[in-house]
Structure 1
Amino acid sequence: MRVGKRQQVSTAPVPGPYSARAVGAAVAAWSALWRWAARRRRAGGVRQRISGAGELCADHGVGTLLLRTRRTRFPCARRGATPVVGVLLAALCLVSGCAQPTTPAPGSPPRAEVERLLATVRVVQTRPHPGGYERGCRDGESCVFGPAWSDDYEGTGGHDGCDTRNNVLARQLTGVAYRPGTRDCVVVAGTLADPYTGTRVTFSKSDAKDVPIDHVYPLAAAWDMGAAAWPLERRVGFANDIDYNLQATTRAANQAKGDSTPGEWLPPSRPGHCFYAGKYLTVAIRYDLPITAADHAALRSIAVTCPT
């Protein structure tokens, strides 16, 4: 029987009924635009900030999405290239429904708490790369964090007869339905209010890959930052820590993040930034993992936007 089932988290609804497929299309469009800009970089000539393009999107009455989260200038090889950027951004807005909620994601810590965490966390200049990281557990693979979503670990949800993935879904989805005969263990349906994207996503067991589970502090980054020296038992517990280090999200957001840290990636929804900053710093401190100077700078810039 599931441990702590009655403590299931009920996340407040997020405005806008978005599907995982729509969010994926938006992120894919953004990635295509970014790759296009990179290809034009060598041609020279800078014409407009991305925030300016965001204003173009807003002028079409659909708000902004992702457009003000970077201050990068888009390069243009010649006149006429900038309108192409505008068209692509407008298309992105139409696909994603640019408007975002203005209030912080549920569970976001106040500014004072984020600043306290920033003052506590260890900081290193850059991320080392000691080598040896191998997540796979097939024959011949190192399996350095143990089998994915194992139930065989010490900690919340461990040894309760349900795998870690289902424990996370049961906690973070609302309107959860279970497969009959699994002792309320296998989640087959529910709704995710995703703090990373600011969208509401319908989960179905038949399309389970549309709602993956993110390691807030990525496993590969943890390995590089010190977990390589931990005993296996501690690494397995870290990989399955449903209290602190696991967050259900969309496939597109999870793939875009990969093993990036805050200096390289932030949630596409600005209202989710404080939520992410608080969770990332809490995990780092709890496991005595450092963050890089670039991570610290990114999170410090987020702290001033958190609720007071």
Structure 2
Amino acid sequence: MRTPRCPPPPTPAPGSGEEATSINEQGGGGATGSALAALEVLTVKGRAPKTGYDREQFGPRWADVDRNGCDTRNDILARDLQAETFDPDTQNCVVLTGILDDPYTATEIHFQRGQDTSEAVQIDHVVDLSDAWQKGAQHLDETTRTAFANDPLNLLAVDGPTNAQKGDGDAATWLPANRSFRCDYIARQIAVKARYHLWVTAAEKDAMARVLTDCPDQVLPTDETAATAYQVDTTAPQSPTLEPAPRFPAAEPPAPAPAPEPLAPALAPAPAPQAPVQGGTDPQFTSCAKAKAAGHGPYTAGIDPEYHWYGDGDNDGINCE
């Protein structure tokens, strides 16, 4: 890997007049010492409105601030990737391929420049531009904001989808899945905010302090350390970048109600009891006289079916009397 190209540290212009106390100020407006000590010096305030924010407020995208002929994106790719190849027609400025040990996910990403492949590796602003705008950068002049957007201290080559997931989140809402990198990540955010006199919210400060409890002696990165790529431990344990809401087993759908048992076929009503036929079965004689002579009758209407076989001369409902 060739010697990385990175812009020199910028010197911030005065901000809004609310200058944060610097810690062991050094040449580039940076701070040295422990990250915890630097965190205690940062101003704590609420977010300012996002009104007026635009990417152009931070100067041209990936400007060549160090005037080495290469834009900042390619400078950072050259710093953070290994086994890079370069386009010779650009005086070895444009990175064509390389291997990234991603600090956010501790995975190895093979980068290849191209319309459909370049976004696999993106350059992240560790302190996002929108977050900076809401925490003091809107009071900086354009030259200082351009320096902020191109400062190697604030830039990392990282996994593209993870960078998109981060958005403009601060430490209270987003942390790298690679737990072994979190202390470095928070220390870098603090160093950037100290350099540009940006503030933190109370929730952001609390989140930073929680991370640093695991590494109380974590030191701030300097321009020297920012000029070299991080050594990423790809065997480090991972954790979600955001704490997901608790997951509960999906409720099993209720068992379908048993199909109603088919109703028993309706039974024909039992025939009304009929009076016994007197004298046995009537073979339908030709007249009541013959029926009576054979020992049959009398028959009652509505009770004895034999009633209809014979006439009822007096219409009293009884025949063959």
- Range into which the TM-score falls when normalised by the shorter chain: 0.5 to 0.7
1:120 matched to 2:27? The reply is: no
SS at match of 1:265: coil
Give the corresponding residue for 1:286. Answer: 195
Offset from partner CA, 1:99-129 (integer Å, 9 cap, x none): xxxxxxxxxxxxx8221222222222x2121
Question: For the residues of structure 1 that align with 2:214 and 2:155, how far apart are their CA atoms?
Answer: 24
Higher helix proportion: 1
Tell me the amino acid that sits aligned with residue 6 of structure 1: T
SS at match of 1:192: strand
Give the corresponding residue for 1:181. Answer: 89
Offset from partner CA, 1:213-236 (integer Å, 9 cap, x none): 110111011111111121111111
- Give the TM-score of the pair, scaled to structure 2: 0.56
Give the corresponding residue for 2:107. Answer: 199
Structure 1: gaps of 5 or more residues:
10-111, 136-142
Give the corresponding residue for 1:6. Answer: 3
How does 1:165-180 map onto structure 2 within 5 Å?
Answer: 165-180=73-88
Question: For the residues of structure 2 that align with 1:174 and 1:118, how far apart are their CA atoms?
Answer: 33
1:223 matched to 2:133? The reply is: yes
Which structure has the bigger radius of gyration?
Answer: 2
Question: For the residues of structure 1 that align with 2:40 and 2:216, how far apart are their CA atoms?
Answer: 18
Question: For the residues of structure 1 that align with 2:108 and 2:157, how far apart are their CA atoms?
Answer: 12
**Contact map agreement 2:130 2:168 (CA 8 A) in 1:** yes
Offset from partner CA, 1:172-207 (integer Å, 9 cap, x none): 111111112221200011111111111111111121
Question: For the residues of structure 1 that align with 2:84 and 2:215, how far apart are their CA atoms?
Answer: 30
Give the corresponding residue for 1:263. Answer: 172
Question: For the residues of structure 2 that align with 1:115 and 1:239, how far apart are their CA atoms?
Answer: 24
SS at match of 1:191: strand
**Contact map agreement 2:50 2:130 (CA 8 A) in 1:** no
- Cα displacement (A) at 1:7: 4.4
Structure 2: gaps of 5 or more residues:
7-32, 218-321
Question: RCO greater where, 1 or 2, for CA within 8 Å and sep 6 or more?
Answer: 1
**Contact map agreement 1:197 1:272 (CA 8 A) in 2:** no
Question: For the residues of structure 2 that align with 1:216 and 1:205, how far apart are their CA atoms?
Answer: 23
Give the corresponding residue for 1:98. Answer: none
- Give the TM-score of the pair, scaled to structure 1: 0.58
1:147 matched to 2:57? The reply is: no
